[in-house]
Chains A and B, each alone.
Chain A
Amino acid sequence: MKTKPSGVSGTGGSGGDVCSSERYPGATIVTADPKGVDAGPHFMDGDHAIAEGGLAAGCRFFAGYPITPSTEAAERFAERAPEVGAMFIQMEDELASIAALIGGAWGGQKCMTVTCGPGFSLMTENLGLACMTETPMVIANVQRGGPSTGLPTLTAQQDMMQARYGPHGDNMIIALCPDSPQECFDLTVEAFNLSEYYRVPVIILTDETVGHMHEKVVIPPADQIKILPRNNYSGPKESCRPYKFDSQGGHPMVRAGDGYNFHITGLTHNEKGYPVMTAEQNVKVVTHLMEKINGNADKIIRLEENEIDGADVVVVSYGITSRIAVKAIQDARKEGIKVGSLRLITIWPFCEKRIRKLAPKVKAFVVPEINYGQMVKEVERCAGGVKVISVNHCGGAVHDPDVILAAIRKANQ
């Protein structure tokens, strides 16, 4: 868990060494392939930055299906694919898009797709398969208002829980939440690194506002972008195991065509990948799937904190809402209220420990979000009875900062 007092604005919060051997024990860390890195300053929207982040991270396979407000990312990737030497395919639907990513990943490529709510609902099917088969991939959900077809295409943060609990059965993913086009780029690179290390789908939970917002995005030169290359097994065939149920990350993938004759299934399986449908085996598999993420939460989670020490009120926010909250926080400080800001860069796994530690020191938490109250439930769960004020706001627009300010005042009473 990193703290970075980089000003309340939060933009560029992914500073520091986010790709280190401390964070990814045992991993090979290399610099990016310059072919995919369009280095330099750009004026681009969040969607385009996601596509660029993927290319920079070494993603060479994109399967997608158009859906506003995420389509621009697919378009960008399609446009760039020939010059980078990547493959882009528009599939027949989102069910197929994510299925193709599973195939692409076992075929040896880093893979990504983008979508929003309705498409994400379809993807939850094979999101489950990807979790079960421990297939690395990155999915960006550029959220719009729901439910169903909902609000095409006004902003929302309504899929926070779906990202975590969408697929049936116990499973665990990692989700990151950028607050700016710059962070869309940075966090997409990070998403690939986490995905490769933990062999898990990583979801970028951004929203229509960030996706469509144009800002300055600086893409660093390739030698300053650190990435985890695909780790393919290359040992003897007899000891080849596609899985290892030890609640840790860092295990190699097996690549199709390398002669290991692997078997992959969505059924409960043993380390060879063969189906073993017993209660005992399910304990091993599910425990591993959950604990490789939850047990390493300290290494995975990144937060941006501002003036937390001595704060009476802490505003917990994420994505575009954290930037709206800045105005409210500044106004509250002018009124003499001691307000701290905690911005969730990593949404899942949730920063449970941090909230539990803060709770006894504050009067209240304020949780603004563009939904009917989702992440606030997590904050409440960890706040241990400390007051938690939800500033919920259904989809379609960002908050009015005054509403958040009112909640901060109330929290300070």
Chain B
Amino acid sequence: MSTDIEKFKAGSPMSSTLRMDRMPHIWCPGCGIGSEVNSFAEAVKRSGIDPKKVVVVSGIGCTGRVAGYVNFDSIHTTHGRAIPVATGIKLANPELTVVVFSGEGDLAGIGGNHLIHAARRNMDLVVICNNNFTYGMTGGQLTPTTPGSAMASTTPYGNYEYPFSLPFLMDACGATYIARWTSLHSRNVTQSIEEALLRKGFSFIEIISPCPTLYLRRNRLGDGVDQLQNYQDNSILKHGADTRETAIDYQGKIVVGKFVEKNKPTYLEASDKCSVKLVGDDYQLYGKTIPEREAEEKAEKERIAARRAAMQAEPEEAAAEPKKAAAPKAAVKKAPAKPAAASKTAKKAPAKAKPVKKAAVKAKPAKKAATKAVVKAPAKKAATKATVKKAAPKAAKTKVVAKAVKKAAPKATAKAKAAPKKTRK
């Protein structure tokens, strides 16, 4: 086993963005966090941002461990305090891109006050919230988002509290970018994170995700793949949806999409403006005037654009990567990077039938998802069901996704084209 892991580490396409010396990770097979981390790492790569300037901050819990596995500057803080720590980093060095990656219990429960105030201030942070309706690390207790009637270890007779709808909460607080996906929507997650990394202001991305070990098991909802099927059947794509209509009932419809994207001055911009009014144009923060900082920012933007351009100009090299990874991956069942590799293969080589099927179920972290994929073949299932629009006949639905992706990032046409191809298969 240990030798397999070593092989995997050596061949992993993620070795530049993930800490291979920390693998294997702690997440269970079928958990959504692994694929989210892959999406995140992929998004950082694609964004063209200098990885040296990315800082990841996590709180406590299963998702709180993300900081320990990403190969960036990272801080694993106390329970609920990831956002204020991130705020401190961002304000201490505004040229950093600061990402908070944590769970809903950490962010919206114990850290709820920080979440709402960071959104209110339009603090320039990317907040990625893994929402699996449960406190995983402590054994499956009720969280602020657990849907009504769901079982949790502290609601052994069913939940009778009212849950938060996080997009609605964030909208009310003034967040300037709000998206929600499920861990089925791995590519959309990547896309949203990439957008958030490249924009200014408070970005909130919620990812509904399965916890097979606790939430699913306690509620007898099967394993990770069964839950992905549920996401497949029940996700409703609705960009720009009224966030008042994003509540999630127990195993009910999940409205996904990009709900909010707007611009308003960030905390730093507002603070700069106020200080300039007071001190004049020679106002400096940490010894740098605003024009100096703006020039640096502009130069950095150009470097980012150049990196992005270079990346898009080398699709073949990128396509070769997953192939390289394929060998060790096949040998190692527990390969945590599998989903990303699978989805990549699918995207870059849509002609190959097998990987495509996997990719349909893809997005799922560990071997479980991948191995079951063949058995369950949800794409087929969905296709046979293709009677009503709501049941998301696969092709119809993915068309919408593709359109949405295009709309979201007109530049990324190549990617947007790749998406429908793969899903139609």
- Chain A contact residues, CB within 8 Å of chain B: 60-61, 63, 81-83, 85-87, 89, 91-93, 95-97, 99-109, 111, 125-126, 128-129, 133, 255-267, 274-275
Residues in chain B within 8 A of chain A (CB atoms): 19, 21-22, 52-53, 55, 57, 67-68, 71-78, 80-81, 83-93, 95-96, 113-114, 117, 267, 271, 274-275, 278-279, 283-287
On whether A101 and B88 interact (CB within 8 A), knowing A96-B117, A108-B93, A257-B95, the answer reads yes
The CA of A410 and the CA of B274, in the complex, are separated in Å by 61
A274 to chain B, nearest CB (A): 6
What's the Cα separation between A71 and B85 when bound, in Å? 22
Distance in Å: Cβ of B112 to nearest Cβ of chain A: 10
Please state if B287 and A106 are interface contacts (CB–CB under 8 Å): no
Q: List 15 A-B contacts (CB under 8 A).
A: A63-B84, A81-B275, A82-B274, A82-B279, A82-B283, A85-B287, A89-B91, A96-B81, A97-B84, A102-B88, A111-B88, A261-B19, A261-B73, A265-B76, A266-B76
Distance of A126 Cα from B80 Cα, bound (Å): 11
Assess the B67–A103 pair: CB atoms within 8 A: no
CA of A91 to CA of B113 in the docked complex: distance in angstroms?
A: 10
Given known contacts A82-B278, A257-B93, A258-B52, is B84 in contact with A264 (CB within 8 Å)?
A: no
Q: How far is the CA of A406 from the CA of B62 in the complex (A)?
A: 61
**Pairs A-B, 4 closest by C-beta atoms:** A103-B88, A107-B92, A100-B88, A99-B84
Contact B78 A99 (CB under 8 A): yes
| Contact between A262 and B74, CB atoms less than 8 A apart | yes
- In the complex the two chains form, what is the Cα distance from A257 to B93 in whole Å? 8
Query: In the complex the two chains form, is B89's CB within 8 Å of A256's CB?
Result: yes
B93 is contacted by which of A126, A129, A256 (Cβ under 8 Å)? A256
Which residues on the A side are within 8 Å of B114 (C-beta)? Answer: 92, 95-96, 99
Establish whether residues B84 and A103, one from each chain, have CB atoms under 8 Å apart when the complex forms. Answer: yes
Q: How far is the CA of A259 from the CA of B54 in the complex (A)?
A: 9
Nearest A residue to B57, CB-CB: A103
Q: Is the CB of B77 within 8 A of A106?
A: no
* Chain A residues positioned under 8 Å from B55 (CB to CB): 107, 256-257
A contact face: mostly helix, strand, loop, or mixed: mixed
Q: Which residues of B contact A133 (CB under 8 A)?
A: 75
How far, in whole Å, are A346 and B395 apart by their CA atoms in the complex? 72
Inter-chain residue pair count (beta carbon < 8 A): 163
Contact B68 A275, beta carbon cutoff 8 Å: yes
Is A104 touching B88 in the complex (CB atoms < 8 A)? yes
In the bound complex, CA of A125 to CA of B76 (Å): 14
A265 — which chain B residues lie within 8 A by C-beta? Answer: 67-68, 75-76
Instruction: Please give, as numbers and ranges, the residues of chain B lying within 8 Å of A255 by CB-CB distance.
Output: 93
Closest to B116 in A: A92
Question: Are A85 and B88 within 8 A (Cβ)?
Answer: no
Residues of B within 8 A of A83 (CB): 278-279
- Are A107 and B76 within 8 A (Cβ)? no
Interface centre among A95, A100, A108 (most CB of B within 10 A): A100
Bound state CA distance, A129 and B117, in angstroms? 22
Residues of B with C-beta under 8 A to A93: 113
Most buried by A among B74, B88, B284: B88
The residues of B that contact A102 with a CB separation of less than 8 Å are 75, 77, 85, 88
Known contacts A103-B84, A107-B96; A274 and B90 CB within 8 A of each other: no
Residue in chain B with minimal CB distance to A100: B88
B17 to chain A, nearest CB (A): 10
Partner of B96 from the list A61, A87, A128, A256 (CB cut-off 8 Å) is A256
Instruction: State A258–B52 Cα separation when bound (angstroms).
Output: 7
Beta-carbon contact of B87 and A257 below 8 Å: no
Known A85-B286, A257-B96: A263·B68 in contact at CB below 8 Å: yes
List chain A residues, Cβ under 8 A from B77: 99, 102, 126, 129, 266
The answer to whether A95 touches B92 (Cβ under 8 A) is: no
| A103 and B85 form a contact (CB under 8 A) | yes
CB-based contact B286/A103 at 8 Å: no
Residues of A within 8 A of B19 (CB): 261, 263
Return chain A residues, CB-CB under 8 Å to B75: 102-103, 106, 133, 263-265
**Do B74 and A107 have beta carbons less than 8 Å apart?**
no
Tell me whether A256 and B275 are in contact (CB under 8 A): no
Chain B residue, CB-CB nearest to A110: B92
Chain A nearest CB: distance from B90 CB in Å? Answer: 7
Contact A103 B72 (CB under 8 A): no
- List residues of chain B with CB within 8 A of the CB of A104: 88-89, 91-92
Return chain A residues, CB-CB under 8 Å to B57.
Answer: 103
A107 vs B53: C-alpha distance when bound (angstroms): 11
Which residues from chain B contact A86 at a C-beta distance below 8 Å?
A: 285-286
> In the complex, A128→B78 CA distance in Å?
9
| B22→A107 contact, CB < 8 A | no
A275 to chain B, nearest CB (A): 6
Contacts of A259 in B (CB 8 A): 52
Partner of B76, one of A99, A100, A257, A264: A264
* Contacts known (A96-B114, A263-B68, A266-B76); A107 close to B286, Cβ less than 8 A: no
Query: Does the CB pair A107–B88 fall under 8 Å?
Result: yes
Kindly state the separation between the CA atoms of A61 and B21 in the bound complex, as whole angstroms.
34
- One of A101, A111, A263 near B74 (C-beta < 8 A): A263
Q: CA–CA, A397 to B387, complex, Å?
A: 80
A-side contacts of B86, CB under 8 Å: 103
CB-CB under 8 A from A63, the residues of chain B are 84, 87-88
Query: What residues of A have a CB within 8 angstroms of the CB of B81 in the complex?
Result: 95-96, 99, 125-126, 129
Select from chain A the residue with minimum beta-carbon distance to B114: A96
